[in-house]
């Protein structure tokens, strides 16, 4: 088992890592539902690529979770009941519920898991995980910004649809920022970086 | 009738600094910014890439070497690399 940085309570950290991993895994699967539905081939490939990236990110967090729980990424991804997943509700909605769900790609539980002033192997791995996740998420953000802005501005009809999507999605999206049980102990103590994705 | 066809951008790919940019294909996009994103996902997804050119009618568009994160492949993407399968060393036994 991993040696946790001093002062880090284990259960909230385990829950946080699992929630981050579950978010990535489920969103990756949901994003893959767009494959074959994009208006042009280029976007079809681009969005499928993003879906694959998310699955890769889920492995980062599942692997760290295994350090604490002893349960392998495969076990967590494939051998749990549906109601044992701890992802945000928002990432579970099927495609088509709202075009603005696109924006959930980069905006989600995105805490680095990094800790201040600690030098255990686990802390280093968590920090590396954040660094690996970050550049790809920054690109996802750039990509969906491009899509959302252009779809919103294109025609009266496209503007109407995107606005309706924002109105429908916004309350659900707030669920991304709900605290997990015991999370205050991690975030409040400066043990783990807070909510939100760094601009990029 | 309005033409809904997007512009075509030819894409040139550089694997590492010092190598020539090589024409790898084209993408359709509504503007140069989106063309770059499409080019990244079509042509820098599998091959290692440090720079793309996607010239438009106005002038030249090329990526900046400073922005390394743009082409970062941070997680293991070896499954995307084209390669063969290992042949089994022994003949499978029958019976």
Angle, CA A39 vertex, CA A51 and CA A101 arms, to 5°: 45
A67 — contact with chain B (CB < 8 Å)?
no
The full 3-state SS of A131-162, as one line of letters, equals: HHHHHHHHHHHHHHHHHHHHHHHCCHHHHHHH
Q: How far apart are CA A163 and CA A155, in angstroms?
A: 12
Assigned token pair, A125: 């791995």
pLDDT digit string, tens, across residues A108-141 = 444 444 444 456 677 777 777 777 777 787 788 8
Assigned token pair, A100: 């603005």
Q: How far apart are CA B40 and CA B93, in angstroms?
A: 47
CA distance B23 to chain A (A): 17
Under the banding of pLDDT at 50, 70 and 90, the label for residue B27 is very high
Q: Are strands B22-29 and B7-14 parallel, antiparallel or unpaired?
A: antiparallel
Mean pLDDT of A139-157: 86
**Are the beta carbons of B60 and B53 closer than 8 angstroms?**
yes
Full-model pTM: 0.81
Output A197 or B72, whichever has higher pLDDT: B72
DSSP assignment of B15-39 equals SSTTSPPEEEEEEEESSHHHHHHHH
Which single residue is written with the structure tokens 């040696």? A3
Q: What is the pLDDT of residue A108?
A: 45
Counting residues of chain B whose pLDDT is more than 70, the rounded percentage is 85
Q: What is the pLDDT of residue A200?
A: 30
Q: What is the pLDDT of residue A89?
A: 84
Q: What is the pLDDT of residue A118?
A: 53
Which single residue is written with the structure tokens 């080019």? B39
Mean pLDDT of A30-44: 87
pLDDT digit string, tens, across residues A153-173 = 989 998 998 888 888 778 877
pLDDT digit string, tens, across residues A63-112 = 989 999 999 999 999 999 999 999 888 888 877 654 455 544 444 444 44
CA distance A71 to chain B (A): 21
Query: Is there a contact between A132 and B42 if contact means CB atoms under 8 Å apart?
Result: no
Strand partners, B62: B53
Query: Is there a contact between B28 and A40 if contact means CB atoms under 8 Å apart?
Result: yes
Query: Is there a contact between B37 and A146 if contact means CB atoms under 8 Å apart?
Result: yes
Mean per-residue pLDDT of chain A: 78
A81 — contact with chain B (CB < 8 Å)?
no
Q: What is the pLDDT of residue A65?
A: 92
Mapping DSSP to helix (H, G, I), strand (E, B) and coil, where does residue A180 land?
A: coil
Q: What is the pLDDT of residue A187?
A: 66
Mapping DSSP to helix (H, G, I), strand (E, B) and coil, where does residue A22 land?
A: helix
Mean pLDDT of A7-20: 85
Tell me how far the alpha carbon of residue A37 is from its chain's centroid. 22
Alpha helices, H only, chain A: 10-32, 41-69, 73-78, 121-153, 156-173, 183-188
Mean pLDDT of B67-76: 77
Assigned token pair, A21: 């991993």
Under the banding of pLDDT at 50, 70 and 90, the label for residue B95 is low
- Residue ranges of A 133-172 with Cβ closer than 8 A to chain B: 133-136, 138-139, 142-143, 146, 150
Lowest mean pLDDT among A6-10, A28-32, A34-38, A70-74: A6-10
Q: What is the pLDDT of residue A3?
A: 73
Q: Which of B75, B77, B81 to mutate to test the interface with A (most CBs of A within 10 A)?
A: B75
Assigned token pair, A112: 């680095």
Query: Is there a contact between A56 and B27 if contact means CB atoms under 8 Å apart?
Result: no
Under the banding of pLDDT at 50, 70 and 90, the label for residue A195 is very low
Q: How far apart are CA A120 and CA A68, in angstroms?
A: 13
Under the banding of pLDDT at 50, 70 and 90, the label for residue A175 is confident
**Are the beta carbons of B66 and A135 closer than 8 angstroms?**
no
Assigned token pair, A136: 């790809």
């Amino acid at each position: 088992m991993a040696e946790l940085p001093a002062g880090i309570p284990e259960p909230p950290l385990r829950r946080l890592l699992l929630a981050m991993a579950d978010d990535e895994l489920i969103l990756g699967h949901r994003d893959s539902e767009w494959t074959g539905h994009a208006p042009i081939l280029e976007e079809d490939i681009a969005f499928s690529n993003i879906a694959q990236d998310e699955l890769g990110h889920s492995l980062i967090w599942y692997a760290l979770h295994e350090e604490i729980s002893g349960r392998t990424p495969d076990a967590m991804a494939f051998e749990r009941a549906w109601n044992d997943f701890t992802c945000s509700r928002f990432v579970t909605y099927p495609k088509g519920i709202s075009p603005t769900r696109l924006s959930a790609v980069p905006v989600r539980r995105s805490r680095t898991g990094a800790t201040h002033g600690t030098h255990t192997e686990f802390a280093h791995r968590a920090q590396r995980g954040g660094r690996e996740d970050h550049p790809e998420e920054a690109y996802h953000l750039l990509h969906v910004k491009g899509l959302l802005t252009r779809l919103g501005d294109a025609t009266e009809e496209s503007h109407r649809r995107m606005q309706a999507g924002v109105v429908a999605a916004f309350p659900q999206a707030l669920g991304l920022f709900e605290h997990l049980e015991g999370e205050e102990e991690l975030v409040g103590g400066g043990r783990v970086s807070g909510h939100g994705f760094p601009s990029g | 009738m309005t033409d809904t066809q997007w512009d075509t951008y030819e894409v040139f790919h550089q694997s590492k600094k010092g190598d020539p940019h090589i024409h790898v294909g084209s993408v359709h996009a509504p503007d140069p910014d989106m063309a770059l994103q499409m080019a990244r996902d079509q042509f820098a997804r599998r091959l290692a890439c440090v720079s793309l050119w996607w010239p438009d009618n106005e002038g030249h568009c090329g990526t900046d070497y400073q922005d390394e994160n743009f082409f970062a492949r941070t997680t293991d993407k070896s499954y995307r690399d084209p390669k063969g399968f290992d042949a089994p060393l022994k003949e499978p036994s029958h019976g």
